Amino acid sequence: MVLSGYLFAKITRKRPLNYVKFLRARAVRLLPLLLAVILIVVIIEYIKSGGLPALEKLRDSFYGILLPTLPNGGWSITVEFHFYLIFPMILLMERNFPFSSLIFVFVGFLIRIGVLHYYGEAAVQDIAYWTIIGRIDQFIFGILTAYYLNSLSGRNWLAIVAGVSILFLYAAFDRLGGFYSNAEFPEIWIFLLTLEGICYSILIGWYDQSFRFKDTGFSGLIAKVGSASYSIYLLHVFFVFRIARLVNEYVISLDNFYVAFLACVICFLPVAGLSWLSYRYYELWWVRFRKPYIEKEI
């Protein structure tokens, strides 16, 4: 979410946005693989459980336009879509009134506080984690970093502070019960993703401004992983739990965190390789239909 806000703001900062072409470009980039994944999920459900459960999966996918019901982590695509709807307004506000988009952060805070007060812990967790109401902060901080924090190059100390802050934030979050239980301190969902967004925006801005990137070597490898990241994101769900179960039962117990982490790194490689094939031979075929959505500098 932070990276999306940062990149779109950086690309369009001094150039007008053709909104229709922007939406078309995002649809061409995201929909083909998403629709293919939905089809695979429905087919798998039909084979496992029959026609009615498969139709229910298909119905849930249609609800994904408004609700976080898309399969394989597709809920985040719903959040992205909702961000796209207000993105031109955010750009217009920032070009005329610097930092004015912080009003969205403020409104998000008020809504989350109200939901916690009237509906309780489960409701505020749901809207904070799964919807634009909680995630808007991350888009906004990504945008503000691209607009105003142009002096992060070489600020290694600040990047270290941001990285360590995330570790401490989630260590505390884990001690409070983690994702599945925060009954002792449900207020954490009011500001958790906001703090995360601030830290990630600093790290992204520092990384982007501090290094010169090449298409070869380690930088080139990271770029390839980045190119295939959408396929990695949507396809890994088909494999990750099965791989974990097989490793745990037939190779080594995954009870130890560090063993599990090492197993994740090793098992990531074949999943990334398969995802690269998906990107190279499926996603790229659709990408050619995209059209530029930014015009000359203003």
Average pLDDT, the chain: 90
pLDDT band at 202 (very low <50, low <70, confident <90, very high): very high
Residues 176-196: tens digit of each pLDDT: 888 887 667 888 999 999 999
- Residue 50 has a pLDDT of 87
194 and 223 share a domain? no
Q: What percent of the chain has pLDDT over 90?
A: 65
Examine the domain organization and report whether 29 and 154 are in the same domain.
yes
Give pLDDT, residue 296. 66
In a shared domain, residues 220 and 112: no
pLDDT at 137 over 90: yes
User: Is residue 223 domain-shared with residue 132, that is, in the same domain?
Assistant: no
Residue that terminates a domain, selected from 211, 227, 255: 211
Q: Is residue 248 scored above 80 in pLDDT?
A: yes
pLDDT at 182: 62
298: pLDDT strictly greater than 60: no
Q: Are residues 65 and 158 located together in one domain of the fold?
A: yes
* Pair (18, 129) in one structural domain: yes
Do 140 and 255 sit in the same domain of this protein? Answer: no
- Once rounded to an integer, what is the mean pLDDT over residues 201-225? 87
Give tens-digit pLDDT for 13-34. 778 888 899 999 999 999 999 9
Q: Are residues 160 and 252 in the same domain?
A: no
Per-residue pLDDT at 160:
96
- Within this chain, do residues 174 and 233 fall inside the same structural domain, yes or no? no
Structural domain span for residue 141: 2-211
The answer on pLDDT for 293 being more than 90 is: no
Same domain, 136 and 170: yes
User: What confidence score (pLDDT) does residue 297 get?
Assistant: 58
**Residue 212 binned pLDDT confidence (cut-offs 50, 70, 90):** confident
Same domain, 198 and 218: no
Do residue 257 and residue 194 come from a single domain?
Answer: no
- The pLDDT tens digits of the residues spanning 22-71 come to 999 999 999 999 999 999 999 999 999 888 889 999 999 999 999 999 99
Residue that finishes a domain, picked among 179, 211, 243: 211
Q: Look at the chain and report how many structural domains it folds into.
A: 2
- Domain-terminating residue out of 171, 192, 211: 211
User: What string of DSSP letters covers the chain?
Assistant: -HHHHHHHHHHHTTS-B-HHHHHHHHHHHHHHHHHHHHHHHHHHHHHHH-HHHHHHHHHHHHHTTTSS--TTTTHHHHHHHHHHHHHHHHHHHHHHSTTTTHHHHHHHHHHHHHHHHHH-HHHHHHHHHHSHHHHHHHHHHHHHHHHH----TT-HHHHHHHHHHHHHHHHHHHHTT-TT--TT-TTHHHHHHHHHHHHHHHHHHHHHHH----SSHHHHHHHHHHHTHHHHHHHGGGTHHHHHHHHHHHT----SHHHHHHHHHHHHHHHHHHHHHHIIIIIHHHHTT----B-S--
Instruction: For 151-178, write each residue's pLDDT tens digit.
Output: 888 899 999 999 999 999 988 888 888 8
pLDDT above 70: residue 103: yes
